[in-house]
Structure 1
Amino acid sequence: MMSCLLVFLILNSFTPLTAVNVSAICDDNANVTSLLQQLKSNVSGIPDEAFQNVKNFNSERKALYNKIKAISNQITAGAFRGSLKKLENDFEKRVKRRIVDPWRTRLLELIGQIKCLIENLPKCHPIVDSIPPSIREVLYYPSLPEYDDYVLVLAHVTDCWSGVANVTLSYSVDSGESVNLTMYKIDDLYRAEIPPQHYGLNVTFRVYAFDNAGNMAVSQTYSYVVGDSRPPVISYVERVPSVPNYNETVFVYVNATEPPLASGVEKVIVSYSNGTEWINESMRLQNGLYVAEIPAFPYGTLIEYVIYAFDNASNVAVTQIYSYSVDDRFLPVAIIDAPKYISESATLDIYIHDDNLLFGKLTVDGETLAYFNQSGSYAYMWNTTGISDGTFTLRLDVYDKADNHGWAECEVIIDKTAPKVEIELPKNGSYVNGLAIIQVNVEDLNLERAELTINNSSYVWTGTGTFTYVWETTRNDDGWYTILLRASDKAGNENQTSLEVFVDNTAPSLVNLTWSPLEPSAGENVSVTIQAFDYGSGVKNVTLWFRTDESKWQRLEMNLKDGNWTCLIPGQNESRIVIFYIECYDNAGNYARTIEEIYAVKAAQTQQQPFPLSWLLLIIIIIGAAVTLTTYIFRHRRKGTLGKTVALLSLK
């Protein structure tokens, strides 16, 4: 609610739009002036929150205010078309970019009214200012600019009508593309600076002046050629060697330069004298320095030399006179070249040289190996059989008759111990499949190279310690493979070891699965039989997994008997569903499994109770007695004894 009230108060602080009768425009331009004054008032009253993408609100208000003032000056001068363009292209676009609604909408409405009035002003008012500004005088300093001079251009420009709007300095170099610089007014003079230009270039420039009515004045064309009156700078002079020997040439190095925009160094000359005449030698530019050679002179000769540097503007720089005396300070040459690592023996390449050689001596850790009394090259055979492993220093000392001493030394390592190699994994004769881990160990203080070879494939490295290589065995056929580990050290000692493994990536085969009975009764065990084959690493184990519809998976190890793997699934309760499958692993870890089989447990069959033997015997006796009795009665029917016999039998 407070924000809405704030916007209402701010909008009402804007000066209300004044209705203007367009038909009254031709009387004068007071209506436009009034609306511009109203626009100034509204801009001054814009709050900070009306601006967007603006860091300094006061500066933005001032910029808008100044643009309104410029438009007003143009209208006063009669530059109606120019004022309309400035209002549209400068002020109106800035309002659209920098001010947000609702303030933007109110300002644009007022701008629209002003534009309408300005468009009709040319119909009623003739142009007031048609006279361009007056360029009274143009000066530049210095009058003869050099390559490092900024040229200050001063222009005295006036306009008695609409006033000077801007003054521009336009210059070009060697008739190239023009560069425009805005001239700023200081103490009634407009000024700008032409930056330094390269030596020898022709710079031309003119001054353009514009008034607020759009009139333009152009000065005459001024020009100057950039000069160079300063010689090159010689900042560095050196000779090598500083104290030359009797048989050495001397290289003189000079750093002679000029600034980037100057005329540039044309040539550098070294002039030297051996006491009889002066000889001039042109110096050549090499890696940023000028170089020349002074030839070798006999011992004791005094050499003097001086450097001259010329630029392309004919300026010249001259150094002081330098001098040196030729001496004999060359050390004897001593070079020893030996292998860094040595096993049983090595050839040492020796070179010694001096014009006044006294002798040379070869030592190892202070112990003398050989002497040399002539300059030249030698091949010394060093037998290290009786020397233990370790680090030794070979030193070659050479002396000349002038007591100069030259020497050279190198460090060698005697190593007669072969590298230690071991294949830790896999074991010899083992089975591998899939991604096989090969773990090896190589130990040597000066290992040069280790190589792991599997048949024709090799992997090479240079480090010591334990290394692991992952062998993708599925890219190879099943069968026996040789793993070879070789290593050599920097002294040439070698060692190797190998083993064989069997690659088996083929899973076992499971066939002829049977079980009996197919539909067991409650409590009846089920015998399961299957055949397992593996022609690679061989069958390791066969396992049967079973469960019922009420229990979890249970494991049964199957046993090999007469070429078949068998086991018994324990009897289950009536109506249970039994699910089982068989899995098999070979010795390489490959795995095979059957599909899940299923059978149902049926109800137990009712069995008839056996007839008691005692009852059977009794029945047989009764039947026999009955037969006997019948026969007897039939035979003795007529004797009258039937009643007694029956009675006897009954008693029995």
Structure 2
Amino acid sequence: MPYYIAEIRLNKMSKDVKRERKMKKRLTSRLVTLLLACLIVLTPILIVPAAMGSDQTRVIEALEDLGEDISELPEGADGFKNWRAAEGQRKALINKINATIKQVKAGAYRGALNKLKNDLKGTISKWVADEHVPSLIEKVENIIDLIRDIFLPPAHDVVVIDVVPNVTQAYIGDFVGIDVTVANEGTESENFDVYVYADVDTAVIGDEITIDVISNVSLAAEADVILSVTWDTTSVVEDTYTISAEVPPVEGEEDTDNNLYIDGTVTVSPVLAHDVAVVNVSAPDEVTQGDVVNISVEVANLGDSDETFDVTVTYDTTLIGTQTVSLASK
């Protein structure tokens, strides 16, 4: 009997151990599942700040580079318009840049943008010697674009990226193909029209020829498309035309500098006339059988193009001779 009881107890202990092991496995499995779920949720949170920090670094480094350029401006009148106030103005510009860097670090991107556009640009143009202004303003503009593109993408921004005619030379009456690339760089879908022009003098407004209007172009955010049009040159006059394309601003669009793209020229010339003529044929009125007869043929090129052609002389249907002639245009 004691042995039997002991066996029962051992079996019970064995079952308990197995049950405990199963519970541990289930608990471990649930913990692993929970950890994986937390990792999936947290991964975007971990990635976004890292990317944001990288973008901030790019902007800050660009601002610091601008500050170094201002620090290295020549002293006196070579660097500043008012040589007496040069050093004070240099320090003031650097202070403005440092203030902008603080705004970027704090995430106050609109404030940084306003500081650059409405304060720093104007102050540089006002204080710095003219020869240094263009390069500094270009850097400010690049930083503005960087901040806007990374942190403040516009809701509405349609852009003409490229205009490419398929030929640079054409004759009146030819059909010229033109490809226009447009893009939606905003965050909202857009519907708009595209105007394609040919213009002899781009400085004069209103004299351009409207080649075509592509209506109701629909683009999703960050999408682009190549549109093709055909220009019938039948009614145009001889000249060199500059090709351009324009998208009128959509509702809510603020950046309209990129809505017009001017590129590519097509020279349209008159159609070349091809006209060769036999002007005169001279030969003796009478000859004796067996004589050698000289026949003179006068030909002319009355057209607009250089020509090479054959002159054939016959009597009745019998061939006398053929000669190849090349003549310049009239």
TM-score range, shorter chain: 0.3 to 0.5
Q: Which has the higher helix share?
A: 2
Provide the TM-score with structure 1 as the length reference.
0.20
Provide the TM-score with structure 2 as the length reference.
0.33
Q: Which has the higher strand share?
A: 1
Larger Rg, first or second structure (1 or 2):
1
Higher RCO (C-alpha 8 Å, min separation 6): 2
